Structure 1
Amino acid sequence: MGSLRHLYVTLFLSCYSTFMVIPAITDVTMLALCPGKDQCSLAIYLSGFQQAIIGVGSIVMMPLIGNLSDVYGRKALLTLPMTVSIIPLAILAYSRTTRFFYVYFVFKTLTSMVSEGSVQCLALAYVADSVSEEERISAFGFIAGIASAAFVVGTLTTRFISTTTTFQVATLLSMLAAVYMRIFLKETRKHNDVSTKAKDETSDTLLDENSSENMQVFKKFPSVEDLLCLLRSSSTFSQAAIVALFSSLADGGMQASLMYFFKARFGFNKDQFADIMLIVGVAGTVSQVPYAAAVLCLFGYFAPPCLRSIISKQVGPNDQGKAQGCISGISSFANIVSPLIFSPLTALFLSERAPFNFPGFSILCIGLASLMAFIQSLIIRTKSPSETPEGPTCNDC
């Protein structure tokens, strides 16, 4: 674990800056689009549209980034998402008027196509490079713990500072994360060790081979055939992919709908959003129904590290980035579909045009998606490492 300390610091700072702005963004959106109102269909639809567009970009970019990181290294590919994610935060740190909100909206949509999920995906691949197969579940769990700690600290920080300061601090932390990563994080790509060892003997040959390899990587864009090859490589992989799909569908629905539901039904503001997020992160609860229900979300934190560990064990060492990118791409696909389903449902059942009186109907549907992921997870049967010592590869796809 000590060898991964710089990755942990990088991940903590990156997640810290990301989670800080979540309690505040709903109020910023409502104030820019529907000032003085607690219910705004435009804000729900616009947020859902943004989430869907980001998902479209992510489903293309995640497998590509994962594939490129297998050749060029995790650190090199981490630089891109961590750098571009600074831009939208800086815009709202400067101003949150309606005009600047739309500028933020455009840049957030474009940059999130690259950065959404990339840091987590590459961090998992970095860990898979650095630790043995038996230790990966612990390392993945530790990454989930780092993200949870950043969630709590970031949300707690937002609870006690103004909206303006929130975005300013988030921008500085995001910049610090990128700089720290570039200075301290060591590259893990295994090609380096082999190339360095043989360089003195056949430097010219290696140069030609590397040049040829680099050209082929840029020419070989991860295709549907690559994805299908990974899914067919192991029944466990395909079952885990289904779990990831339905789990991400539920998570995307929560992201698209829950904050606006609380705003409309309970009049929540930034501080109360922070309170309920802290309950999810810290495992406290009080008598109010929304807070009591929120504590159940804690069990969701067990799923991602377990799922990613299962995926990691189904592929060989040279396909870790591709495999993690594949699952991230499937999750991104769910993020396309989810807001298209749940944003209209939320807007409809919170309006006076609802077909029947059930304001939380979209939340029920989100719960059913989570239930489907849970049922699928029960039938996963993982193979022991001795059955697949090298792990399947898809290099011939």
Structure 2
Amino acid sequence: MTSDTDHVPVRRAAVVFVFVTVMIDMLAFGIIIPVFPHLVQHMTGGDISTAVRWTGIMGALFGLMQFVFSPVQGALSDRYGRRPVILASNLALGLDFILMALAQALPVLFIGRVISGIASASISTANAYIADVTPKEKRAAAYGLLGAAFGIGFIIGPALGGFLGGVSVRAPFWVAAGLALTNFLYGLFVLPESLPKERRSARFDIGHANPLGALRMLRRYPQVFALAIVFFLVALAQFSLNSTFVLYADYRYHWGPQEVGYTLALVGVCSAIVQAGLVRRAVPRFGERPVMLAGLLFGICGFLTLGFATNSVVFLLAIPLLALAGLGGPTTQSIITRQVDPTEQGRLQGAISSLSSLATIFGPFVFSQTFAFFIGTSAPVHLPGAAFV
């Protein structure tokens, strides 16, 4: 019999690959963040309030696709393996960025957001991949590394997107397409399968591979369901930033794509430090639950600081607090994965992603409308940071 230690190099190589895959995906998404709202603004006649509303609607559409397809992809990966699902998603993202780069009308951008929402649902499969190849006691650190991949992607992506956006509003989409397609080719030749055939589901059950079936699955595990609610609330709060920051910074501080890109890069640096360095040191010392709760408290302080920031200096001081909020994600994810059988990890991650995607549906719409209302003439008080509060 092969000892568990014989698989350590394979596990490390697999985790490194998923790290690189997520980092490149986030780099591709990060590149378009500083310019996407401005492209929408260009297509809607230049009015900032109209652009905010349409950006929020498209963000909700993106979330709806993730809500529907996260459990589908999770169940498919349980049945057929993680590798084909991840590769298909990477290919779809690359082609979708090309579509958005060529878009000349708002309906084409809508189609692009539909495709990207479907393709990016594969993050649930990446999380299941980590659970497949990582021992239980090391999963918090592994998910912290995955969180660092998000951070690094957002260090380089928005800064590069801001620079490219100064050249052309469409240039970041072309670079994002190149990155996603490169990632597909990298995975095609390098990515090993993490789920052996003997550990796969016997069949693909559409009754479970849908949002309602996935949420019913969560109810079978009370602790998992409770922590999934935490995921939902954190994701909902996060979308106050995702859906308003670019236009908020333009409105309040007169920041253009470059300033936005550099600020998001700073967010990425702080997040990477927390996710890659602090999580693996804090969890062994304090335990997963206290670290998770500390992350939530840091998040509260960070968003309140953003909401009441009267100038850009105070706004920037909130970034380290929001980075420390990242202590909660890897620890919560680690606790959850220990509650279910390996044959259900894909469905579990799909269910969690689907629930979190509800925030992606409602968050962009609610927070963009909140921002638009509180900078409008009918607002009872002028509070541009109301969404963060």
TM-score w.r.t. structure 1 length?
Answer: 0.78
2:259 corresponds to: 272
Q: 1:55 to 1:357 in 2, by over 3 A?
A: same
Query: One-letter code of the match for 2:28?
Result: S
Query: One-letter code of the match for 2:185?
Result: V
Shift of 1:5: 2.6
1:371 corresponds to: none
User: How many angstroms apart in 2 are the aligned matches of 1:347 and 1:257?
Assistant: 9
Shift of 1:21: 1.2
Q: Which moved more, 1:273-282 or 1:311-320?
A: 273-282
Q: 1:146 aligns with which of 137, 149, 167?
A: 149
1:301 corresponds to: 326
Q: 1:238 aligns with which of 225, 231, 236?
A: 225
Q: 1:272 to 1:122 in 2, by over 3 A?
A: same
2:114 corresponds to: 110
Runs of 5+ unmatched residues, structure 2 = 1-11, 272-310
Q: What SS does the corresponding residue of 2:387 show, helix, strand or coil? A: helix
Residue pair 2:31, 2:162 contacting (<8 A) in 1 also: no
TM-score w.r.t. structure 2 length?
Answer: 0.79
2:62 counterpart of 1:88: no
1:180 corresponds to: 186
User: How many angstroms apart in 2 are the aligned matches of 1:283 and 1:79?
Assistant: 30
Query: One-letter code of the match for 1:12?
Result: M
1:331 corresponds to: 356
Residue pair 2:375, 2:384 contacting (<8 A) in 1 also: yes
Q: What SS does the corresponding residue of 2:243 show, helix, strand or coil? A: helix
Q: What SS does the corresponding residue of 1:353 show, helix, strand or coil? A: coil
2:379 corresponds to: 354
1:254 corresponds to: 241
Query: One-letter code of the match for 2:110?
Result: V
1:23 corresponds to: 34
User: How many angstroms apart in 2 are the aligned matches of 1:71 and 1:218?
Assistant: 12
CA displacement, residues 91-141 of structure 1 (integer Å, 9 cap, x when unaligned): 34346xxxx14254122222133123x232211101111121112111111
Q: 1:248 to 1:309 in 2, by over 3 A?
A: same
User: How many angstroms apart in 1 are the aligned matches of 2:43 and 2:49?
Assistant: 13
2:18 counterpart of 1:7: yes
CA displacement, residues 223-260 of structure 1 (integer Å, 9 cap, x when unaligned): 635422322323x2122111111111111222222222
2:81 corresponds to: 73
Q: 1:223 to 1:289 in 2, by over 3 A?
A: closer
User: How many angstroms apart in 1 are the aligned matches of 2:147 and 2:211?
Assistant: 29
CA displacement, residues 65-110 of structure 1 (integer Å, 9 cap, x when unaligned): 1111111111111123222212332134346xxxx14254122222
Aligned pairs, how many? 336
User: How many angstroms apart in 1 are the aligned matches of 2:115 and 2:331?
Assistant: 28
Q: Which has the larger radius of gyration?
A: 1
User: How many angstroms apart in 2 are the aligned matches of 1:217 and 1:232?
Assistant: 17
Residue pair 2:370, 2:387 contacting (<8 A) in 1 also: yes
Q: 2:175 aligns with which of 159, 169, 172?
A: 169
Residue pair 1:64, 1:325 contacting (<8 A) in 2 also: yes
Query: One-letter code of the match for 1:228?
Result: R
CA displacement, residues 293-339 of structure 1 (integer Å, 9 cap, x when unaligned): 33322113222222211111111111111111111011111222223
Residue pair 2:228, 2:352 contacting (<8 A) in 1 also: yes
Runs of 5+ unmatched residues, structure 1 = 196-209, 365-397
Shift of 1:30: 2.1
2:216 counterpart of 1:228: yes
